[in-house]
Amino acid sequence: MDPKYEPLFTPWKVGNVTIKNRVVMLPMEGTNMIQWEAKKGFVKGIGEFYRDRKDQNIGLFIPGLIPLLSIIGEKWLYQHPKVFEPVKPIIEEIHQSGAKIFFQLSAGSGRSMILPPLLKPFVKKGVLKKVSSKTLMTKWWWSAPDPDEPNVWAPDVKMDVFTSEMISRFVYAFGQSAKLCKEAGADGVEVHAVHEGYLLDQFAMRYTNHRGDSYGGSLENRLRFACEVVREIKKVCGEDYPVSLRYSVCSMTRGFNQGAVPGETFHEVGRDLEESEKAIRILEEAGYDLFNCDNGTYDAWYWAHPPVYAPLNMNLSYVEHIKNYTSKPVVCAGRLQPDAAAESIAAGRIDAMGVGRQLLCDPEYITKIKEGRLEEIRPCIACHGACLPFNGLNGEGTDLDPFHLEMGRCVLNPWTNNETKYSRQRAKKPKKIAVVGGGIGGMEAAIEASRRGHTVDLYEKTDRLGGVFNAAAAMSFKEKDKALLRWFERELRSTDTRIHLSTEIEDLDSLEADVIVVAIGANAKTLCLPGAERAATATDFLEGKTAVGENVVIIGGGLTGCEIAYELALEGKHPSVVEMTEHLIGAKGICMANSSMLRELLRFHKVPAYLSSTVEEITEDSVIVKTPKGRITLPAQSVITSVGYTPDRRFAADKGKEEAKKDRPKKAPKVYFVGDCDQVGSLKTVVKQAYELVQKLSY
């Protein structure tokens, strides 16, 4: 082990509980052991998820939250102790590995809760019973401290009031539920949360709490609910039973559905550093033993769920600062890198490193650090494409599907949270497989097929692997994407796959194989309008084939177009975006944390965006745009188009892939199309499709 990482592997204490090292697996969606909202009790298959991680040098596990009250009907957790029975064997296995486990208990989301009308996808998929909006959820789940608070997902909807009688019921429920956690073997509990703008945080913050009773007004009053909770748990479970608090040091919030970005000077409407210094002292005095820290609210959601645009270690300085105002240990989360964490721990500035989605991407992450195998770590690229696929337009509309049932998974590691669905057994009848295309889809298929015992040849027409992802990873803020390309190439070369670079396949009949996997991607769409020949495609720009001037017009305000605009702004240029729809980054499948941060960054960098607008002509030095308010002329030394892709179906001709396969000789190899050459999708769709194809070929 590199000596600089040694501080991560020293013991520490939370209350009277000794934890073997300084690594905390954070609670995340999809890591719940007890899921009580839409299903009853124990989460099927979750045991395998934790068995993959329990022996991987994690000191403290905090599974996903357990709501005190069921979404459907008034079913209190503490009245159903049987739901804890199935988790006891998993807790015992975690203890046998030398690790500890805290269960996280939640009072709910308040104004961050998805309202009954937005839960229709659940009903359609049969997860929830078909009932009316009034009875779909117990009313307490869409109540907030203040009736003037707008719902996060539906800003026009006002919340009901969370009454003092409700507070008393929940305080009691926290104590009784914590007792069940203790009896099940949990080493402590975590209260969720004065954090991220959830219910207890809404009570704690000025802009969401205008109450006139003893739970509103002064900071002490706004923290009263959270303080009563820890006192009740200590009363029921004993003063020595550890209680952690998930805590946002700062709210990073400019207003409802308005977040601040790193480096911005702004008026904080939530909890600023000065108030946080006072708050953490009040909370410590009330009895909390640990503060599990980051930043943000649902209005600035990307601070708690940092996307690719967020700087590495983005919350570290804030958590180090607040450590000076409490005698209790603090955990830091938020794209925290192990070298920075180890240095801070060694200096006594924080006590432990919180790790979340990186452990979904690579369960052996900490072990690889400890054993000096850093190059083997599959890097999390902070895409949130499968672990946190909450879609939404952050106050600009709710026409997108705001919730996805599959959470806690990983775009880059389909095995995660699918351990009972997939198999890793060697192929029963190994095949000779030819993979055409060395992009992400082709490499994923080749790696998995080779590991399963198939004989694999991969053909790539260029002199490098990675395909279009090389362009996607080119931007300055995508250091983890670049690391992912290196990881894929390393993994591929560590298998028995025969790699043929600079080898273009023009005829599939020239390949000797049992199976051919075509993964040749897609072609950028072009525009048919006057002057279009002067525009460069997004791919050409990102690959460095086209230089740009100071004023750049980007046609297309989807994810790639907006990322290019942000990159140009970082370079000091003057980009503007023209988008034909009414939303920037409006596609489904993009996590709201990612899309809202990118929109806020464009705002901060003063990048103009012309929505519901179309380009009529590209001239020698400008772009003529038709906007809802009339025609305008934008200065443009350069123009970049980012208007989507069409599948490269060269091997299916005009007949379509199925008919093309039928026309092949009877003994011809089976041909499968993977990724964008089949249907333009995302990194998630291409990796999953390649992975599942190899599963199919190996049975």
Task: Give the catalytic positions in this structure.
Answer: 198
Exposed / middle / buried, residue 381 (Cβ in 10 Å: 0-12, 13-18, 19+): buried
Using CA atoms, how far apart are residues 153 and 634, in angstroms rounded to an integer? 34
Tell me whether strands 143-144 and 60-61 are parallel, antiparallel or unpaired: unpaired
What is each CA distance from 559 to 309, 315, 579, in whole angstroms?
12, 25, 11
Tell me whether strands 455-459 and 638-641 are parallel, antiparallel or unpaired: unpaired
Using CA atoms, how far apart are residues 408 and 357, in angstroms rounded to an integer? 8
List, in order, residues 6 or more apart from 274 with CB less than 8 Å away.
Answer: none
Q: How many CB atoms lie within 10 A of CB 653?
A: 11
Indicate the angle between helix axes 592-604 and 559-570, nearest 10 degrees.
40
Q: What is the DSSP string of 223-255?
A: THHHHHHHHHHHHHH-TTS-EEEEEES---EEE
Q: Are the CB atoms for 626 and 578 separated by under 8 Å? A: no
Q: In terms of DSSP H, where are the helices of 463-523?
A: 469-472, 479-494
Per DSSP, what are the bridge partners of residue 537? 641
Reported as half-sphere exposure (CB side, CA atoms, 13 A), residue 173 has a value of: 24
Using CA atoms, how far apart are residues 259 and 268, in angstroms rounded to an integer? 9
Exposed / middle / buried, residue 277 (Cβ in 10 Å: 0-12, 13-18, 19+): middle
Using CA atoms, how far apart are residues 364 and 374, in angstroms rounded to an integer? 11
Using CA atoms, how far apart are residues 213 and 295, in angstroms rounded to an integer? 28
Three-class SS of residue 464? coil
Using CA atoms, how far apart are residues 291 and 181, in angstroms rounded to an integer? 19
Give which of 178, 185, 14 is closest to 92, Cα–Cα: 185
Q: Are the CB atoms for 518 and 672 separated by under 8 Å? A: yes
Contacts 24+ apart (CB under 8 A), 335-341: 335/306, 335/310, 335/311, 335/382, 336/312, 337/312, 337/313, 338/5, 338/8, 338/369, 339/4, 339/5, 340/312, 340/313, 340/316, 341/8, 341/22, 341/316
The residue to which tokens 């009907």 are assigned:
73
Cα-based angle 34, 38, 41 (whole degrees, multiple of 5): 30
End-to-end CA distance of the chain: 39
Q: Are the CB atoms for 51 and 108 separated by under 8 Å? A: no
List, in order, residues 6 or more apart from 461 with CB less than 8 Å away.
Answer: 502, 503, 504, 505
List, in order, residues 6 or more apart from 590 with CB less than 8 Å away.
Answer: 385, 391, 559
Cα-based angle 189, 77, 204 (whole degrees, multiple of 5): 55
Tell me whether strands 23-25 and 352-355 are parallel, antiparallel or unpaired: parallel
The two tokens of residue 410 are 């990983």
Give the phi and the psi of residue 520 in degrees, each rounded to 5.
-100, 5
Torsion over CA of 251, 256, 261 and 262, rounded to 10 degrees?
-10
Three-class SS of residue 528? coil
